[in-house]
Amino acid sequence: MKSVVALSRLDTYNLKDVKEALNKTFTLAGGIDSLKTKGRRVLLKPNMLMGAHPDEAVTTHPAVFEAAASLFLDHGFIVSAGDSPAVESVYSVAEKCGIAQAARRLGVQIVDFKDTVSAEAPNGKVTRKFNIAKAVLDNDIIVSMAKLKTHQQMYYTGVIKNIFGVISGLEKSKFHFRFVERKYFAGMIVDLHDLVAPSFAIMDAVVSMEGDGPRNGSPVSTNFIGASFDPLALDCVCSEIIGYKSNDIPILYEAKKRRESFEVEVSGDEAVSLKPSSFKLVEKVTDIAFLRKILNRRIYNLIRNVFIPAPSIGEKCVLCMKCFSICSPQAISVKQSKEGRHLKIDLSKCIRCYCCHEVCAFEAMNIKRHFKF
Ligand code: SF4
Ligand code: SF4
């Protein structure tokens, strides 16, 4: 059976227009009333990566959140919402990105994902045990609501990667340290996604993020929203609209490999009609992490510094220490010099997870190649 992906052109975050477009998209996708067979408690999982103004396109736009939440409420569901940002409280992020205000208007509770439970993923290919947000088990229906963005490490982030937020705060960075190779990290995300099993997915691509995503890229109008009962199908269609081949996205490639058959049907606006005239993608790099186990450490580091871009701290650094806290391999240290305190990155310890770049709200962390011999 083909997976239906519904797409609707939308060039504004005016709430009335978003609700109308989303309502049409839900109907094209198959209608949300069929979800009632699973129960009535819906947990919305918007992308609340970190506190940023909605115009920065870091987080799911509050108008998309409000429109979706009110449609679920209109259909008789009981709605809550949550996430677990890496270095800030979810309540603070929700206030900054406008989701808290939307939730208050609708009487929707925001849940902190810090309260976790151990859960088994019996079919996991990379890992079978996770500590996930208790709220996932407390609800009948999980809805992934992503912002369409590029991603420095995984190239693209959408509705599947968005589910990584059910892992509490800084625990997420430990997974980067455990699964340094991109394909294993992707496999772990797919294991987690299969465990959480979102029943429905929504893509906010009215304004997306191009370039240095998922935090420091640039907002760009892509003028559409999407929805599907199949998150993989929605991600494949959206990644291809912005110019990727979905098989080049490690998470999508790993997820597709696990399907016996996978066919997608687009309803609503044609995907080709929504393609932006230009979109700055993250350059694909060869994953050489597997060489760690074969090569002498010094030679491996030399090769890695030539081929794999690494973070570098620039003059805008205000020593907020968020990058320091999130760096699992402890590659970032504090140094004292005549000029004062500053941070230094030990590239031989750096695993190129780019979490530091993701949490830096001051555009002080740059990703570049270090040609050091
Ligand atoms: S590089 Fe960014 S995240 Fe790190 S301490 Fe400086 S300002 Fe903070
Ligand atoms: S320095 Fe940045 S990219 Fe390198 S391991 Fe630490 S968090 Fe990851």
Domain ranges of the chain: 3-274, 289-368
Q: Answer yes or no: is the C-beta of 63 below 6 A from any ligand 2 atom.
A: no
- Residue whose CA lies nearest to ligand 2 atom number 8: 353
Question: And the tokens for 340?
Answer: 């004062």
Nearest to 310 by CA among 337, 295, 329, 294: 329
Ligand 2 mutation target, pool 152, 292, 352, 360, most atoms within 8 A of CB: 352
Domains 3-274 and 289-368 agree in fold: no
Atom 3 of ligand 1: nearest residue by CA position: 360
DSSP H helices, 179-262, are 182-196, 231-241, 250-257
d(CA 191, CA 189): 5
The mean of the pLDDT values for the chain is 95
- Distance from Cα 365 to the centre of ligand 1, integer Å: 7
Ligand 2 atom, smallest distance to 352 CA: 3
Rounded to whole angstroms, the Cα distance separating 323 from 315 reads: 15
Ligand nearest the Cα of residue 304 is: 2
**CA torsion through residues 248, 249, 251, 252, sign:** negative
- Split at pLDDT 50, 70, 90, the class of 295 is confident
226 neighbors 234 (Cβ within 8 angstroms):
yes
Quote the strand ranges of 134-234, DSSP E.
141-151, 155-157, 200-210, 218-228
CATH top class, domain 289-368: alpha beta
Please work out whether the CB of residue 329 comes within 6 Å of at least one atom of ligand 2: yes
Tokens of 280: 């700055």
Joined tokens for residue 117 = 């439970």
Q: 148: number of CA atoms within 13 Å, CB side?
A: 33
Percent of the chain whose pLDDT exceeds 90: 87
Q: What is the pLDDT of residues 190-212, one digit of tens each?
A: 999 999 999 999 999 999 999 99
8 Å CB contact between 231 and 144 = yes
Report the nearest-CA residue for atom 5 of ligand 2: 350
Q: What is the pLDDT of residue 284?
A: 87
- Measured in Å, residue 98 CA sits from the centre of ligand 2 at 29
pLDDT band at 304 (very low <50, low <70, confident <90, very high): confident
What fold is seen in the domain 3-274? Rossmann fold (3.40.50)
Q: 9: Cβ–Cβ under 8 A, 6 or more apart, which residues? A: 21, 223, 224, 269, 273, 274
Judged against a pLDDT cut of 80, whether residue 369 lies above it is answered with no
Tokens describing residue 36: 């009632």
* The pairing of beta strand 78-83 with beta strand 310-313: unpaired
Q: Tell how far the Cα of 177 is from the centroid of ligand 1, in angstroms.
A: 20
Query: How far is the C-alpha of 333 from the C-alpha of 327, rounded, in Å?
Result: 10
> Does the CB atom of residue 345 touch ligand 2 within 6 A?
yes
Ligand 1 closest atom vs CA 314: 1
Query: Cα of 354 to ligand 2 centre, how many Å?
Result: 5
pTM as predicted: 0.94
Nearest residue (CA) to ligand 2, atom 6: 327
| Minimum mean pLDDT range among 106-115, 325-334, 340-349, 361-370 | 361-370
pLDDT for position 371: 63
**Rg, C-alpha atoms of the chain:** 20
User: Residue 247: left (phi > 0), alpha (psi -120 to 50), or beta?
Assistant: alpha
Note the pLDDT tens digit of each residue in 70-90: 999 999 999 999 999 998 999
User: Using one digit for the tens of pLDDT, what is the confidence trace for 145-167?
Assistant: 999 999 999 999 999 999 999 99
DSSP letter for 282, please.
P
